Structures are given as C-alpha cells and as structure tokens.
Structure 1
Amino acid sequence: MSDQASGKVTIDGREFAVSDLSQDALNQLSSMTVVDRKIGEMQQEIAILQTARNAYAQALAAALPKD
C-alpha cells in the first residue's frame, strides 16, 4: 500500500505524494498501518496456536486406549 520512506504512497493503485495528503488522510493512513501490523501479529499468533493445537491432538491420540 505505501512506501512512506520515499515520500510517496500508493492507495488503490494511485500514487500520492505524502506531502500532498491532508492531515485527516495522514491520520487514516497511520491508523491503517497500525491495524495492518496488528493483523500480522494476530496471524502469527493464530499460526502458533494452531501448531500447539495439532501437538495436543497428537498427544491425545497417543494417550487414547488402543483397540
């Protein structure tokens, strides 16, 4: 979405100079960046939890009585 380090940002396929954005647009962009980072963190957390769940499922299967 953005490359703020270069002073430009691309939104919906359109490129804008960061200096041309209103304060409201900059605030919204900042909020989106925070949310995107949080989504990434949560996706990592989900992957960790799914891995743990799989390990518990394997341990449960091994602990069940054999036929």
Structure 2
Amino acid sequence: MSKPGMQEEIEITVDGVTYRYSQLCEEAQAQAHSLQFVDAQIAELKAKLAVFQTARNAYQTALQQLVPRTQQ
C-alpha cells in the first residue's frame, strides 16, 4: 500500500521488458497514453457489442414467437 500523497509508479511492459512510465522519453509516454486510450475504447465497444447482441437475441426470440409456424 502506498503512503498518503505518494502515487504508485506505473509500469509498462513492451516485448517482455518492464519499464517505469516516468523513465520513458516524452514520445514513448505519449504512445503509451494513446495505447491506453485505444484499449479503453476497445473495451467500451466490446461492452456495447455485448449489449447489442443481447438485445438482438431478444428481438429474434420475440419475432420467432410472433411469426406463424409452418407444419412439416
């Protein structure tokens, strides 16, 4: 646990090597930040996709119950 007022150092792993965020050059920090942003956006889209897929399944089930059944 960190002491009050102290922030834990963020570590980034690239190709199996771990780096401290503060030790990266400014450009590498920017790239790491962009990567983190994109990863968050992908996670958000995956969550939305799960919601849409659930809704689609419910609509499909409702439609199947409403259409006339054919006799075979």
Q: Do these two structures clear the TM 0.5 threshold for a shared fold by scoring above it?
A: yes
What TM-score, normalized by structure 1, do the two folds share?
Answer: 0.84
State, as a whole percentage, how many aligned pairs show the same letter. 37
Q: Which runs of 5+ in 1 are unaligned?
A: none
Out of 35, 40, 43, the residue aligned to residue 37 of structure 1 is 40
* Aligned CA distance change for structure 1 residues 40 and 47 (closer, same or farther; 3 Å): same
How large is the RMSD of aligned CA atoms in angstroms?
Answer: 1.2
Out of 52, 59, 63, the residue aligned to residue 60 of structure 1 is 63
Residues paired across the two proteins, number: 63
> What code does the residue aligned with 1:41 have?
E
> What code does the residue aligned with 1:23 have?
E
- Give the structure with the higher percent helix: 1
The whole-number CA distance in structure 1 between the counterparts of 2:56 and 2:10 is 44
> SS of the counterpart of 2:19?
strand
Q: Which runs of 5+ in 2 are unaligned?
A: 1-7
The 5 Å alignment of 1:1-67 reads 5-67=8-70
* Aligned CA distance change for structure 1 residues 7 and 38 (closer, same or farther; 3 Å): closer
Structure ID, larger Rg = 2
